Amino acid sequence: MELKNNWSYPTAMRFGAGRISEIGEACAAVGIKKPLLVTDKGLATMDITKNTLDLLEAAGLGRAMFSEVDANPTEINLAAGLQVYRDGGHDGVIAFGGGSGLDLGKMIAFMAGQTRPVWDYEDVGDWWTRADADAIAPIIAVPTTAGTGSEVGRASVLTNSETHVKKIIFHPKVLPTVVICDPELTVGMPKHITAGTGLDAFAHCVEAFSSPFYHPMSQGIALEGMRLVIDYLPRAYADGTDIEARAQMMSAAAMGATAFQKGLGAIHAMSHPIGAVFNTHHGTTNAVCMPAVLDLNESMIRERFDRAAGYLRIDGGYDGFRSFVQEFNDSFAIPRKLSEMGVTADRMDDLVAMALEDPSCGGNPVKLTADNLRKLFEATI
């Protein structure tokens, strides 16, 4: 079976090896004539980025790029990107990269025509209605990792540089208009990034599947997404040139981000403040937190994972799945404790307070409190 197709769910997606060659056509399809490619500092000098800029130039679209994007993007990065976007007279954004490049690119397109501060559009109640939807620039997303799924998301995560709190900025039109998923772009990922991003996709699927909210479509997507990660992440990790494995992981990443419309939970409520304070890799942080969160939620999720384990070809129901998760982490050399990633307990009070304020709290099967969150942090640090 050829892993190549066009999908219209959850947005227009061009999936398949080599499809970055269609970047010029994608710009024409959404009416972009002068795009700004937004990516992170690490990708700026890589061949996949240079080749994409060559394709844009060949299509008569210029080769403008903004790459002052931190691993955890801030409003400072956003302001700098907006300056480049406006000064260059651009009319759309190509968000290119992993989570940081995708998230900031989407925010530049979103904020290009807004007049209020970005924090006024946080994912709180109906704050998104404050935005001028007609002023949001068109977005094309090109993921170069297989984890975050931001290419199919309607929000971005932005870290406040003063408070070190991660905020989720939401608007329905932040969903990219066209996505190009080309697994060849992920071939150069180092092993530890392949593992960390892949386990990010796994965490999205596990938390969506665990969420108590009713959303059977997301539930099914989350289950199949878990299977794809279990089957193909070991292959992608072992051989970075395995295009089939890379393609299946790109699918799993998009599925995880689509599924978590159903909700996230304590894993992300923890990893957001940890990443903001200690600048840890998001997917790896999620992986370290997962076993303790499964333990907390066991009473509420045991039955559904008893059923899921059979589909995932894991013996022993929930107990088998819980054991598998730790073994899966270990197989990718994921630390068992956050302290191995530089996280210290001296900020415990701040981490607990920030976790309680995180929007992901609402999707956890067990109600999160200062007490049980503290115990989770103690168990993982």
Output the pLDDT for position 1: 79
Q: Mean of the pLDDT values across residues 2-22? A: 95
Structure tokens belonging to residue 287: 């992986």
Cα torsion for 58, 62, 63, 66, to the nearest 10°? -150
Q: What percent of the chain has pLDDT over 90?
A: 97
Whole-angstrom distance, CA of residue 286 vs CA of residue 231 = 19
| Domain at 189-380: CATH code | 1.20.1090.10
Residue 139 · residue 109 · CB < 8 Å? yes
Cis omega before residue 10 (within 30°)?
yes
Domain spans, the chain: 5-185, 189-380
Residue 282 · residue 149 · CB < 8 Å? no
Tell me which residue has tokens 């022993």: 316
Res. 346 pLDDT band, cuts 50 70 90? very high
Residue 13 has pLDDT above 90, yes or no: yes
Residue 243 has pLDDT above 90, yes or no: yes
Q: Report whether CATH 3.40.50.1970 matches the domain 5-185.
A: yes
Render pLDDT for 204-241 as a digit per residue (tens, 0 to 9): 999 999 999 999 999 999 999 999 999 999 999 999 99
Structure tokens belonging to residue 201: 């996709």
Q: Are strands 5-7 and 12-15 parallel, antiparallel or unpaired?
A: antiparallel
Render pLDDT for 314-335 as a digit per residue (tens, 0 to 9): 999 999 999 999 999 999 999 9
Structure tokens belonging to residue 51: 């080749």
Whole-angstrom distance, CA of residue 321 vs CA of residue 4 = 31
State the pTM of this model: 0.95
